[in-house]
Amino acid sequence: MITFLTDNVSMPPLNVPKTIKWMQLVAANYGFVVGNLNYIFCDDDKILQVNQEFLQHDYYTDVITFDYSTSTVLSGDVFISLDTVRSNAQMVADTFERELDRILIHALLHLTGQGDKTPETKQVMTQKEEQALVLRNQL
């Protein structure tokens, strides 16, 4: 079950049924099913608080993923700062909606085991994000 929640922000424009179908399809492409997956949309203040409290990081970020997955069932809590998504979209000259889709699937790819800490794994992550975005456009 995928849920979308908000914390001190309005719900972003999201076609929920299509987004859930897309995420389930991407998970299946990597051999997973989606269990309990909560996306919490928030502002920069909240994501900084989460980053400081749980990860001991003192900086803003676009997404923080807490992984509760077991074997082939993806589960977790994903905090997404809509403020940072918006500024990232402007920085890369893309739409807010496309950048939000990229971050949604970025978190899901992390849950499947994809990393992005090195230049090589970051490049692979970007390729997988792009493949998933193409798939979304086909739905």
| Candidates 1.10.1740.10, 3.40.50.300, 3.50.50.60, 3.40.390.30; CATH matching 2-138 | 3.40.390.30
Listed by start position, the domains of the chain span 2-138
- What 8-state DSSP symbol labels residue 11? P
Helix H or strand E segment including 47: helix 44-55
**The residue type at 100:** L
Q: What does the pLDDT profile of the chain (139 residues) look like in tens digits?
A: 999 999 999 999 999 999 999 999 999 999 999 999 999 999 999 999 999 999 999 999 999 999 999 999 999 999 999 999 999 999 999 999 999 999 999 999 999 999 999 999 999 999 999 999 999 999 8
d(CA 60, CA 43): 10
